[in-house]
Chains A and B, each alone.
Chain A
Amino acid sequence: MRDGDQTIKVAALGRVEGEGALHVSVKRGVVDDVRLELYEPPRFFESLLRGRSYLDPVDITARICGICPVAYQMSAAAAIEDACGVSIDGAIRDLRLLIYCGEWIESHALHIYMLHAPDFLGYDGAIEMARDHPDRVRAGLELKKVGNQVVEVVGGRPVHPVNPRVGGFHRAPTRRELEPLLAPLERAYEMARETVRWTATFGFADNVLDCELVSLSHPSEYAILGERITSTRGLDVPVSAFAEEFKEDQSGHSTALISRHRGKPYLVGPLARFVLNFEKLSDDVRAEAARAGVGPSCRNPFQTIVIRALETMEACALALRLIASYAEPAAGYVDVRPRAATGYGASEAPRGLLYHRYRLDNDGRIEQAVIVPPTAQNQLAIEDDLRAVVGANLRLPREQLQALSEQTIRNYDPCISCATHFLTVEVDEA
């Protein structure tokens, strides 16, 4: 080994959703190689869906991830309804937004308090942080619980909800069933505000992300069930154009397919949503963002912990508005008849844009299924960011550099369960 050569290996990356590996090698003081290695053969679920009924993906794809099942259900339903020529609006669409708010709240609370805050406060994990900050951790668990409650009331159970279906919901909740959520959501809104103020006090490493940011957009709503795909470099296309714009291929070091936009890495997720949809946030949330020192010009991935807290506020506020204005629909779902067609659907999972495409035959049998999760889209951007962070911090002691590398990955809250299933982290200084 020469001076300036090093190999940092992290055998198992903790505090991410799933498992996998990261390998970084440094030669002669320069970062030589960065690889996120995702091991599990991809696309199990896509092949599992082929030949099955068009009504099945909403239930089956929910099992891809225990943290963001609603995102899979909503993207799947949107794509199948698109194939069948059905558009959902009114109270059923509102219920979809409401259950999605629940998922954002529980997912963001889990990531902020259990997975990411320990990095900023110098703890190995949530257990160690809880010894010194038990009230903070309890608050995080309580916030998450409110999100789970919303998912349970609308979806039938808090994890892997069973009520969503193609066309809407097996049964629409009554107004009386939703109203008990109001008080917890009001409390959660203030807890989320406190979370913004708390996370804004963390120290953030200097870092500027240079890649294109991509998210859904909607004419009047912060992007959850958006209609078009937009970017910081002027992209503005319908969801159906996703496959024309974003190309996937198999990297040699990963069994997950990875995505590029016009040949280059891009980023989806909270930072992209926030930057591209800032004006759609409610006034109070934008004011809180200003107080926290983050705005639409933010490009520092370390600050996404603050942005997740702001999105948690927004999700609470939206959930409160949706319940306040809720009028029970005459039926929980719209009848969706199959036809031979291809449909496209996307929604904003907590970790970013989640795209589904299904080709159906006349009987509604699935001939082809394509699912592009956020983590697979972010893989190259994460690798590029990691290359920059490691390169700028090579003077750090090895342990600190390794911890910073892991924290850098956790900035993106990667859901490796969705992208494939097993991730491990490894940094080489050889």
Chain B
Amino acid sequence: MNATVVCGLGNDLRGDDAAGLLVARALLKLDVQGVDVEEHSGEPDSLVAAMSQHRHVIIVDAVAGDAPPGTVLSRFWNGAAMRGAVSSHGLSVGEALGLARVLGANADVAVYGIVGRVFEIGSPPSVEVVRAAAELAVRIEEDLSCA
């Protein structure tokens, strides 16, 4: 197990919600070394495990927002519980991270969000998100190579 893990979150059947998965798969194709790459559905226990087993966690997920589709947003998570986000998984991603922290996980967490346009069931991801995911994978790979 490596010190760093990239967790791509999403659902393949909901259009741009697959953004995190697309980044994870692109990273696997890039064959980035020394890093674990995982696909996640957003289940809290798998994120808690990722937080507990690695020193550095990079989370990539789709986000809805006013920015143009394909825009990449990034931030370092400061450990504060992120409430208000709704989730179909019982706990939101922010709550899962907060839970891991309370249980003693000390990983630093960087979060990338790709602004999506289509989230309907059965829709393919938009061209903007597909392109952004490929570019973000390269960017993460380069960042990790320099680290």
Contact = CB atoms under 8 A, between A and B. Distances in A.
Nearest to A143: B45
A44 B45 contact: no
B102 A134 contact: yes
B121 A48 contact: yes
A137 B88 contact: no
Which of A114, A148, A417 is most buried by chain B, counting CB atoms within 10 A of its CB? A114
Contact of A134 (B43, B89, B103): B103
B13 A115 contact: no
A145 B43 CA distance: 11
16 contacts: A12-B84, A17-B89, A17-B90, A19-B87, A45-B121, A66-B43, A67-B90, A110-B44, A110-B90, A125-B95, A126-B95, A141-B48, A144-B45, A148-B46, A158-B43, A417-B88
A44 B98 contact: no
Contacts of B102: 127, 130-131, 134
A18 interface: yes
Contacts of B45: 110, 141, 144-145, 148
Interface of B: 11-13, 41-46, 48-49, 81, 84, 86-91, 95, 98-99, 102-104, 120-122
B88 A19 contact: yes
Nearest to B121: A44
B102 to A, nearest CB: 4
Contacts of B121: 44-45, 48
A364 to B, nearest CB: 20
A160 B41 contact: yes
A137 B99 contact: yes
B88 A158 contact: no
A83 interface: no
A44 B87 CA distance: 19
Contacts of B46: 148, 158-159
A19 B104 CA distance: 29
A66 B99 contact: no
A44 B102 CA distance: 38
A421 interface: yes
A60 interface: yes
A19 B86 contact: yes
Given A134-B102, A141-B48, A127 B90 contact: no
Contacts of A96: none
A93 interface: no
A111 B90 CA distance: 8
Contacts of A148: 45-46
A114 B90 contact: yes
B88 A127 contact: no
A222 to B, nearest CB: 25
A66 B41 contact: yes
Contact of B122 (A48, A158, A416): A48
Nearest to B89: A66
Given A125-B95, A160-B41, 5 more contacts: A44-B120, A65-B88, A66-B43, A66-B88, A134-B104
Interface string A302-337: 000000000000000000000000000000000000
Contacts of A187: none
A127 B13 contact: no
A127 B81 contact: yes
B86 A127 contact: no
B99 A126 contact: yes
Given A130-B99, A138-B103, A159 B90 contact: no
Contacts of B43: 66-67, 158-159
Nearest to A63: B13
B8 to A, nearest CB: 13
A44 B122 contact: yes
Nearest to A44: B121
Interface in A141-164: 141, 144-145, 148, 158-160
Contacts of A130: 99, 102-103
Interface in A92-114: 110-111, 114
B103 A17 contact: no
Given A15-B90, A44-B122, A60 B13 contact: yes
Contacts of A145: 45, 49
A12 B92 CA distance: 13
Contacts of A131: 102
